[in-house]
Amino acid sequence: SLYFDFCASTPLHPEVYDELMHSTKQIFANPSSVHDMGFEANLRVEEARERISVLLQVMPNEVIFTSGATESNNLAILGVVRAWAKKTGQIPHVLTTQVEHSSVYNCCKQLVAEGVEVTFLPVDRNGVVSVSTIEESMQPNTVLVSVMHVNNETGAIQPIQEIGKLLRNKPDIHFHVDGVQGFGKQSLLIEDIDLYTLSGHKIGGPKGIGLLIIKETVELAPLLYGGEQERGIRPGTTNVPGVLSMATAIELTLKNREETMRVLTTLHDLVYSKLVTIPEIIMNSALPPLSSPHIINFSYIGKGITSAILIGILAKQGIVVSSQSACSSKAKASRVLMAITNDEMISSSSIRLSLHESVSLKDAEYLLDSIEKMVNHVKTKNKFELL
C-alpha cells in the first residue's frame, strides 16, 4: 500500500527507533527512585528536557511531558480555566475556533456543559480565523485563547504570531496553541505563547508521549493527583523511553525542516495542480502561504457519495488516505469543513491527503492516477452500484 495519511501518524525516524529500543531495554529504572539507577534515569530525562528547552527556546522547567497532544490540550484548557475559577470565584470565558482538533473542541464543549462561557469563532473560506474577531470577542472574564497552528484537516495556517502580539499586553489572558501539525513545517516563535502542545507520533516519534510547554507565569490546576513528577503538574511514572525519543524526534524534525519543506512543496505543487483540473473536485485547502503544503483536502462531489466510499475505491488501488482526523472519522460530515464551507455535500465527501518527506514523485504520480481512476469509476457507475 501507499500511505498518504501522515497527519494521523508518522513512521518512527530510524534514529528515534534506535533510541527507543536502546532506552526501553537499558534504562528501565524508575527515574523517581533514589538509588543510583533511578538517579541515572532521571539524569537522562533531565538532559532530554534541557535539549528540548534549548530547541524550543523556553526554560527547562517549562517543559512538561504528557501522554500525547490530547492530554496536553486538556491539561492546558481545563488546567487554566479551573485554576482561574477557583482563584476568582467567577465564571471564566474561553475563546477558541470552530475548526480546532476534537481534543480542544470537545474539551471546550465539556466546559460549556459545566457552565463555562466559550466562544467558538468562525473562520473564513480559507479556514483562517481573523485576529480582529478575536479582539472584538474578548470579555472582562476571558482567561484563555486557544487556537491551533496548522489545521489537521485542511492545513490552514492560523495567524498565531499576530494573535500572540495582540495578547502581549494582556497578561491576564493566556494563549494556548496546539502546535501538533505545524511543528517542523511552519516556523513559529513561542515567545508570545503561554501554553504550547506537541505530540511525539506526528513527528517521527513514538505514540503515547507528548508535551505541553507551560510558561512560568501560568497558573494551572493539574488534571491528575499523585506523585511529584513533572513538578506535580503531571504525576505518574515518567515515560523514560518516550521522553528520550521525543527529544531526538524534535531535534531531527527541526534539523531537517528546510529540506522537508522543500520536498513537501514539490509534492504539494504536483498534486494540487493536477487535482484542480479535475471536474467536480473542489479544493478545501487554500494554497501556501495560507495553508501548509503537507495537507491537501478536497471533495469529489460527483454523484453525491460519501468519503467512506471514495476512500474504499482508492483502497482497492492500494492508496491509504483518510477523510477527517482519525479522532473523528466516525462523524459523517466534517465539522471543520462545515465551519469553512457550510456545505453538507462538500463536508461529507472530502478526502485528506497528508504528505511526508519520504514520499517520492513516482508515488505522488501513482496517487494522482488512482484519483483519476476513482473519478472515472464513480462516473461510469450509477449511485446504487457504488454503495
The residues that are catalytic are 327
One of 99, 134, 180, 351 touching ligand PLP (CB under 6 A): 180
Reduced to 3 states (helix: H, G, I; strand: E, B; else coil), residue 182 is coil
62 vs 100 by CB, closer to ligand PLP: 100
One of 199, 238, 292, 354 touching ligand PLP (CB under 6 A): 199
**Looking only at residues 217 through 256 of this chain, which bind ligand PLP when binding is defined by CB under 6 A?**
none
Amino acid sitting at position 344: E
Q: By CB under 6 A, tell whether 80 contacts ligand PLP.
A: no
- By CB atoms closer than 10 A (0-12, 13-18, 19+), residue 379 is exposed
Q: Respond yes or no on whether the N-terminal peptide bond of residue 289 is cis (omega within 30° of 0).
A: yes
Write the binding mask 312 to 331 for ligand PLP: x where contact by CB under 6 A, - elsewhere: -------------xxx----
Give the residue carrying C-alpha cell 470552530: 98
Tell me the three cell numbers of residue 192. Answer: 508570545
DSSP state of 5: B
Residue 277 beta carbon to ligand PLP: minimum distance, rounded to whole angstroms: 29
Closest alpha carbon to 200 in 67, 310, 379: 67
Q: By CB under 6 A, tell whether 309 contacts ligand PLP.
A: no
> 55-61 contacts: CB < 8 A, separation 24 or more?
55/250, 55/251, 55/254, 56/190, 56/196, 56/213, 56/250, 57/189, 57/190, 57/191, 58/190, 58/213, 58/215, 59/216, 61/216, 61/231
Q: By CB under 6 A, tell whether 160 contacts ligand PLP.
A: no
Residue 271 Cα to chain centre, angstroms: 22
Residue 180 beta carbon to ligand PLP: minimum distance, rounded to whole angstroms: 4
Q: By CB under 6 A, tell whether 178 contacts ligand PLP.
A: yes
Q: How far is CA 178 from CA 182, 273, 276, 363, in A?
A: 9, 29, 30, 30
Alpha-carbon gap, residue 217 to 72, rounded angstroms:
17
Stretch that binds ligand PLP, among 108-116, 175-183, 336-344, 353-361 (CB under 6 A): 175-183
Residue 144 beta carbon to ligand PLP: minimum distance, rounded to whole angstroms: 16
181 vs 347 by CB, closer to ligand PLP: 181
Q: By CB under 6 A, tell whether 185 contacts ligand PLP.
A: no
Residues in the chain: 387
Residue 190 beta carbon to ligand PLP: minimum distance, rounded to whole angstroms: 16
Tell me the three cell numbers of residue 196. Answer: 504550547
Alpha-carbon gap, residue 13 to 356, rounded angstroms:
12
Q: By CB under 6 A, tell whether 195 contacts ligand PLP.
A: no
260 vs 322 by CB, closer to ligand PLP: 322
Q: By CB under 6 A, tell whether 127 contacts ligand PLP.
A: no
Q: By CB under 6 A, tell whether 188 contacts ligand PLP.
A: no
Write the binding mask 60 to 79 for ligand PLP: x where contact by CB under 6 A, - elsewhere: --------xxx---------
Residue 121 beta carbon to ligand PLP: minimum distance, rounded to whole angstroms: 17
| Binding region for ligand PLP (CB under 6 A) | 7, 68-70, 101, 103, 148, 152, 178, 180-181, 199, 210, 325-327
